[in-house]
Amino acid sequence: MSLRLEAEAFSAFCNRFDKEEVCIIALFEAKWPNGFHCPHCQHPSYYLISTRRLPLYECRSCKTQTSLIKETVMEGSRTSLRLWFQAIYLHSRSSSVNALQLSDLIGVTYKTAWLICHKIRHAMSRTDSAHLLTGIVRVTDGIYCKRITSTFDWHKQEQPILIGASNDEVGNIGYIKIKLQSKLPLRDKYDCPDTQPFLRNHVDPLATKNTIITRRYRRYGKPIDKTLVMESHHATWWIGRLFRGVGPKHLQAYLDQYCYLSNHGIEVVFNHLLDACSTTHTIIYSVLIGRSTTIRSLKRLRNSVRVSQQTG
């Protein structure tokens, strides 16, 4: 779709979800598609408390109060639902957006946009992890950001990956997963990662024994699965074009985003992604950047010991 058509489609979307009330109704339906049920006792009736920015739903049986954004990726966020919806919409497009573009388009700070992007990606990753490859499954190794060199050594941007796909009815890729692998057990970049953990975690046990495993280059007579190998190049191109340099720390989330958009048709992807964001627990900033509360607690404890030693 051209940039002009993309801009018109985004404008139409903004007009459709132009008020918080409209977003509240849509989020309610995505969160509770079969009607409200209390998260504590499953009771289906509630009293509506609408004195807050977002409505609260008080269970008529056990009196537990539930927020609309509790246990969603939006939990704890002060950003309006209207802007969250715009962010989810923009992530549902194959062109997608990076954090800088999102901050410009919806008018939030870069840090808020970065966090929203990662939370939406988290919903994509969690949805993907619940889906196993079934039927005829193919797996190959690949290299993310492969450089054209004859050396056996890894370039620092190259990362080993495993690519798995289940076929659709006509033998094309129906559902794809790309998972980052550790370089540590590999002798060099021509070594193949162990496929067993990938098969255990991402392939239906009924499909595992018939899974076709190939290599990204011809060796020991093993065939090459060119369509799967091409996916590593497409993923590299798509991530590189949109996000520029992505390090190994967050690369898996971007690979999951690439696969999510490949796996879900453009017509349904907004509704699917809204459902995913409405039913996925959020991920907090400290976990995203790899700073756990345990480490922070230990640092605080260490600092307090230092202070007591100095004053004592």
Which is nearer to Zn ion, 41 or 206 (by Cβ)?
41
Least Å distance, CB 44 to Zn ion, is: 10
What is the DSSP secondary-structure string of 252-282?
A: HHHHHHHHHHHHS-TTTHHHHHHHHHHHS--
Q: Does 37 bind Zn ion (CB under 5 A)?
A: no
Which is nearer to Zn ion, 60 or 291 (by Cβ)?
60
Beta bridge partner(s), residue 59: 46
Which is nearer to Zn ion, 38 or 176 (by Cβ)?
38
Least Å distance, CB 60 to Zn ion, is: 8
Least Å distance, CB 62 to Zn ion, is: 3
Stretch 158-197 residues interacting with Zn ion (CB under 5 A): none
Element containing residue 138 per DSSP (H, E): strand 137-144
Tokens coding 4: 């002009």
Q: Does 62 bind Zn ion (CB under 5 A)?
A: yes
**Span of 62-70, 100-108, 154-162, 169-177 interacting with Zn ion by CB under 5 A:** 62-70
Which is nearer to Zn ion, 1 or 49 (by Cβ)?
49
Q: Does 271 bind Zn ion (CB under 5 A)?
A: no
Inter-helix orientation angle 226-243/248-263, to 10° = 110
* Residue 48: burial class (beta carbons within 10 Å; 0-12, 13-18, 19+): exposed
Which is nearer to Zn ion, 19 or 60 (by Cβ)?
60
Among 1, 41, 49, 287, binds Zn ion (CB under 5 A): 41
Least Å distance, CB 65 to Zn ion, is: 10
**Span of 33-41, 69-77, 85-93, 247-255 interacting with Zn ion by CB under 5 A:** 33-41
| 91 vs 45: CA distance, rounded Å | 34
Sorted by sequence, the CB contacts under 8 Å of residue 207 that are 6+ apart come out as: 132, 133, 134, 135, 136, 137, 166
| 41 vs 278: CA distance, rounded Å | 20
- Chain residues that interact with Zn ion, rule: CB under 5 A: 38, 40-41, 43, 59, 61-62, 64
